[in-house]
């Protein structure tokens, strides 16, 4: 599987492991919410990660969050499933390189 390499400021290095662990927890919650048709939980998680991903240098997570939120608003369970799968894949292939002096 090809890695997705993201360069992130070393200032964020202490915060990233917890942030990524929280996203993995979100995946389990999203699957459960999808199975129980709890669309509000999907929307809420989507909204949260839409707003947080880019703050950590992980724009793809923000994009996925936006897609999740929109899919939940329209009750598009197929798109919700696709977005969850996309988040899983992103996290599985993610390789972070911490760098000094990010522009």
Mean pLDDT of successive 10-residue segments in the chain (103 residues)? 94 97 98 98 98 97 98 98 98 97 65
pLDDT at residue 102, as a whole number: 60
* Domain 4-99: top CATH class: mainly alpha
Closest by alpha carbon to 7, among 63, 59, 45? 59
User: Do 8 and 98 touch, CB atoms closer than 8 A?
Assistant: yes
pLDDT at residue 66, as a whole number: 98
pLDDT at residue 1, as a whole number: 75
CA 101 to CA 64: how far, in whole Å?
27
* Cα distances (Å, whole numbers) of residue 76 to 44, 57, 68, 92: 15, 28, 9, 24
Q: How many CB atoms lie within 10 A of CB 57?
A: 19
**Residue-range domain boundaries for the chain:** 4-99
Enter the pTM of the model: 0.94
């Amino acid at each position: 599987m090809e890695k997705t390499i993201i360069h992130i400021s070393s200032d964020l290095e202490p915060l990233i492991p917890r942030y990524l662990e929280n996203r993995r927890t979100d995946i389990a919650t999203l699957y459960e919410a999808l199975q129980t048709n709890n669309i509000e939980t999907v929307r809420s998680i989507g909204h949260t990660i839409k707003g947080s991903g880019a703050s950590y240098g992980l724009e793809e997570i923000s994009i996925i969050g936006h897609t999740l939120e929109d899919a939940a608003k329209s009750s598009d369970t197929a798109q919700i499933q696709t977005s969850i799968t996309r988040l899983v894949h992103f996290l599985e292939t993610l390789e972070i390189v911490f760098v000094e002096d990010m522009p």
